[in-house]
């Protein structure tokens, strides 16, 4: 007698495939009256978003530590274009660039922390906004930052991209989706 293959059980991630009862793989709110605890994937998402915020704030000391290299790069660019720039103007350009970098780092950190709070609350719009921010970060990294930034800036940006990618993986996990559906359900 030929062995019969049950493809649904073998290929499906929601059963063991050997006839046993399905394993509990999706988050559920628990018994009525008990405190509702977010799933592990949401907790990891929140922590990853907080790590992203801290990494964003590391841009400030990175910018200050590489001030000399930035000064040299601006001077070399001015020479390559045939422009004559005095030291005062060059210092002003470097200071403006560092100020913009620091302001952008603070704005990015606030965005990361805000998304972490929204993720903990189970906000569905925050997940989509996180996807949009990640897409923008990819474009900025590959189109603008990768060809022009120094090694330290590239490593920091790449670590932010990796944290962002893993955040989205955890945020779109089925338990996270179940949490978001549960927290956004109509009450009444």
In a domain, 97, yes or no: yes
Quote the CA–CA distance of 61 and 65 in Å, as a whole number: 6
124-146 residue pLDDT tens = 999 999 999 999 999 988 887 76
pLDDT band at 9 (very low <50, low <70, confident <90, very high): very low
Quote the DSSP letter at residue 15.
Answer: S
> What local confidence, expressed as pLDDT, does residue 170 receive?
93
In a domain, 56, yes or no: yes
In a domain, 13, yes or no: no
How far from chain centre, in Å, is Cα 96?
27
Position 93 pLDDT exceeds 60: yes
Q: Rg of the chain over CA atoms, in angstroms?
A: 24
In a domain, 103, yes or no: yes
* Number of domains comprising the chain: 1
Domain of 74, in residue numbers: 39-181
In a domain, 32, yes or no: no
In a domain, 81, yes or no: yes
Q: Is the pTM of this model over 0.85?
A: no
How is 66-112 classified by DSSP, letter by letter? THHHHHHHHHHHHHHTT----HHHHHHHHHHHHHHHHHHHHHHHHHH
Percent of the chain whose predicted confidence (pLDDT) is above 90: 40
49-75 residue pLDDT tens = 999 999 999 999 988 888 888 888 888
In a domain, 141, yes or no: yes
In a domain, 31, yes or no: no
């Amino acid at each position: 007698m030929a062995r019969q293959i049950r493809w649904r059980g073998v290929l499906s991630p929601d059963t063991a495939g050997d006839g046993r009862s399905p394993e509990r793989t999706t988050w559920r709110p628990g018994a009525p009256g008990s405190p509702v605890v977010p799933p592990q994937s949401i907790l990891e998402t929140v922590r990853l978003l907080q790590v992203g915020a801290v990494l964003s704030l590391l841009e400030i000391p990175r910018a200050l530590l590489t001030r000399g290299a930035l000064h040299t790069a601006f001077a070399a660019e001015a020479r390559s274009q045939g422009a004559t720039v005095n030291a005062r103007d060059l210092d002003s350009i470097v200071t403006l660039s560092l100020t913009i970098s620091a302001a952008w780092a603070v704005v990015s950190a606030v965005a990361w922390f805000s998304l972490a709070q929204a993720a903990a609350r189970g906000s569905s719009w925050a997940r989509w906004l996180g996807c949009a921010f990640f897409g923008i970060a990819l474009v900025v990294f590959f189109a603008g930052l990768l060809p022009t930034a120094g090694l330290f800036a590239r490593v920091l940006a790449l670590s932010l991209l990796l944290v962002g990618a893993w955040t989205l993986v955890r945020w779109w996990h089925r338990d996270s989706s179940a949490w978001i559906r549960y927290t956004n359900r109509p009450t009444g």
